[in-house]
């Protein structure tokens, strides 16, 4: 019981610290550990089940999970987190500093594009985009506007893959360097365009599209083909198609 009390007290103190983020569920914890995140604490309602899950799905981080995980009653975990994940796991980790993320985003030459989301509104969509960017090996995801791309809901949607790529909010006048490829309905068919490794791939909102200001900055306007009468693709779907097109220009290794 003493371990429970001490763990809860330490959790509450850590959760209030600047730059500490919630990792919601086993997969978020797994990804944070796998990609070098500094995890402060992990709580679970069933330690044995967590270690078995780690051994099955992520043996590379099982030792780290074993060292971190503390079992607490389900009602205790429910009192500490807004919504307990189905895996019964929650953790706290240190968010990379903006300076570190921005340095990674501005470093040249680049081997993979950066995804730019202009003034996104849907937290779940941004999480899905981060997950896609990590999967495709993009250099990072940057957003403009007021949304925090490290919001708990965004982290939940990315399954903790924020730690696998650089994710940061930037001002519109401080975009990362590189040719700006803007998705716009009036652009050239993306299938006819080679997307360079150092491109910044820019996407607007589903309702309003890209702003006139960003459109005017574009190195190239490109469009994803779409059937007449269809208003738009989901944001994450558009990002996936853009990154897949870029990746298709590279032969598989080996």
Across the chain, mean pLDDT equals: 93
The ranges assigned to domains in the chain are: 2-94, 98-248
DSSP for 197-247?
A: TT-EEEE-BTTTBS-HHHHHH-SEEEE----TT-----HHHHHHHHHHHHH
Residues 193-248 pLDDT 10s = 999 999 999 999 867 789 999 999 999 999 988 888 777 788 999 999 999 999 99
- Just give the CATH number of 2-94: 3.30.1330
Give the chain's length: 254
Could you tell me if 139 and 175 are in contact, meaning their C-beta atoms sit under 8 angstroms apart? no
Token digits for 25?
A: 């569920």
- Closest by CA to 151, choosing from 89, 82, 209, 64, is 82
Per-residue pLDDT of 46-59, as tens digits, reads 999 999 999 999 99
Tokens of residue 63, six digits: 């030792």
Please identify, in words, the CATH class of the domain defined by 98-248: alpha beta
For residue 220, the tally of other CB atoms under 10 A from its CB is 17
Q: What is the pLDDT of residues 79-119, one digit of tens each?
A: 999 889 999 999 999 999 999 999 999 999 999 999 999 99
């Amino acid at each position: 019981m003493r371990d429970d009390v001490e763990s809860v007290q330490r959790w509450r103190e850590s959760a209030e610290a600047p730059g500490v983020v919630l990792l919601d569920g086993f997969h978020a914890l797994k990804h944070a550990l796998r990609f070098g995140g500094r995890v402060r604490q992990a709580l679970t309602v069933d330690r044995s089940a967590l270690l078995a899950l780690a051994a099955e799905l992520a043996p590379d981080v099982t030792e780290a999970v074993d060292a971190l995980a503390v079992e607490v009653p389900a009602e205790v975990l429910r009192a500490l987190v807004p919504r307990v994940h189905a895996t019964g796991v929650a953790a706290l980790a240190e968010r990379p500093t903006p300076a570190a993320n921005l340095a990674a985003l501005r470093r040249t030459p680049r081997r993979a594009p950066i995804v730019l989301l202009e003034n996104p509104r849907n937290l779940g969509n941004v999480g899905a985009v981060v997950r896609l960017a990590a999967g495709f090996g993009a250099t990072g995801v940057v957003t403009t506007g007021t949304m925090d791309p490290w919001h708990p809901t965004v982290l939940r949607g990315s399954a903790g893959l924020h730690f696998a790529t650089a994710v940061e909010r930037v001002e519109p006048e401080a975009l990362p360097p590189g040719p700006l490829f803007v998705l716009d309905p009036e652009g050239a068919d993306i299938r006819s365009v080679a997307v360079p490794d150092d491109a910044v791939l820019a996407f607007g909102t589903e309702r309003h599209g890209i702003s006139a200001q960003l459109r005017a900055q574009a190195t190239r306007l490109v469009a994803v083909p779409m059937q007449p009468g269809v208003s738009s693709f989901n944001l994450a779907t558009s990002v996936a198609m853009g990154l897949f097109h870029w990746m298709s220009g590279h032969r598989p290794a080996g």
